[in-house]
Amino acid sequence: MATVVLSLGTLVTTNFQKSVVAFVGLAKQQEKEVNLQVIIPKLGPLFQQFNLGKLSTTDLKEALESALGISMQPEEFLSAWNAMCDVNSAALEMIKFIHAINALKNPAVSIRIYSDTNREHLSFLQKRVQQSGSELPKIETTFEHQLSKVDLLKKVVQDEKLVDSAVKVCVLIGNNDQIAESTLAQMVIERDEAIVAASAIVETPIECIKLEGPSLTLEKLLVVMSEKSGLSITAINDMVHPAIPNTYGAELLAVINAALLPPAEDAPLETLGRRLSFGGTTAAATVESRATEDLGTGNPRLKAFEN
């Protein structure tokens, strides 16, 4: 069995500027001038305490009211605070897929999610997911455990390995290296050190897979799951949606069909190794081609397997 560990931030984008605009808008409605360069540095520690579960929602609201010199109704505060959470259709599709995988009794690959977040953002996300007709998978949070994100990651990795030392663990990392901020750079160093520390404790190497960008795509997740489980992408999809073949694998299989083998009247059984590029990700895949009747044309059908 394998476990894929990922941050909620690789699924849901956080745009703090949207909340800043919302709070400034509330201040302007009350004819208050706001100096963000002075206010935001002072509020940073409060946001950290909120994410660690050491500050209540009411306390944060009152602190922001004092800093901005305004009063807010609870619903106004929550609307502005949650404005930074960008839950788009791609994120909802990913969350739906992960929930379905983790709901299986004996998944070949389980997915663990951790997040440096707070109770209000998680509640907002849960409502958005439920509105889409799905459920939110279990998410380990900093506020629930009152741990920093680095220590939370260490705990998640260690817990997974200590349950069963045979479990292969890999951590998917969003690539934010292009952001040259000292704070972020330090967070990246601490995160990598946490993975190394966790590896030492469980005496098993923890594989790190850096994404092409800050966000994870469904295609990339499927490829990683296939590589770690030994199952084809089609097989993984069929476990989640047995009544709808190729729901998630169709796009990848279409790329394979178009790029690797031209239509043929008769194709012998053969295995071909190729590099496929899709969704900004390059992944190794092995393709099995078997001559089968396809609507009377004799064209091969292809399936992607682990290389």
Residue 130 banded pLDDT, cuts 50, 70, 90: very high
Task: For residue 150, give the amino acid letter.
Answer: V
> What is the average per-residue pLDDT within 4-9?
89
Residue 191 banded pLDDT, cuts 50, 70, 90: low
Cα separation of 228 and 100, whole Å?
A: 18
Residue 173 banded pLDDT, cuts 50, 70, 90: confident
Q: Which of 117-126, 174-183, 190-199 has the highest mean pLDDT?
A: 117-126
State residue 230's pLDDT score. 86
pLDDT digits (tens, 9 = 90+) for 23-79: 999 999 999 988 877 888 888 889 999 999 999 999 999 999 998 999 999 999 999
State residue 107's pLDDT score. 79
Task: For residue 31, give the amino acid letter.
Answer: E
> What is the average per-residue pLDDT within 178-196?
54
Evaluate if residue 2 carries a pLDDT over 50. Answer: yes
pLDDT digits (tens, 9 = 90+) for 234-244: 888 778 766 44
User: Please, is 102 exposed, middle or buried when counting C-beta atoms within 10 Å of its C-beta (0-12, 13-18, 19+)?
Assistant: middle
Tokens of 224: 């990683």
pLDDT digits (tens, 9 = 90+) for 205-217: 677 787 777 678 8
Cα separation of 132 and 241, whole Å?
A: 17
Comparing 47-56, 142-151, 249-258, which segment has the lowest mean pLDDT?
249-258
Write the CA distances from 112 to 51, 65, 83, 200, 218, integer angstroms.
19, 36, 26, 20, 15
Counting other chains too, the contacts that 76-82 makes at CB distance below 8 Å and 24 or more residues apart are 76/26, 78/120, 78/124, 79/22, 80/19, 80/22, 80/23, 80/25, 80/26, 81/19, 81/120, 81/121, 82/19, 82/120, 82/121, 82/124
Cα separation of 304 and 250, whole Å?
A: 11
State residue 1's pLDDT score. 75
State residue 178's pLDDT score. 42
Greater model confidence, 220 or 118: 118
State residue 236's pLDDT score. 85
* Partners of 281 in the β-ladder: 278
Length in residues, the chain? 307
State residue 269's pLDDT score. 35
Greater model confidence, 156 or 51: 51
Cα separation of 46 and 53, whole Å?
A: 11
State residue 60's pLDDT score. 95
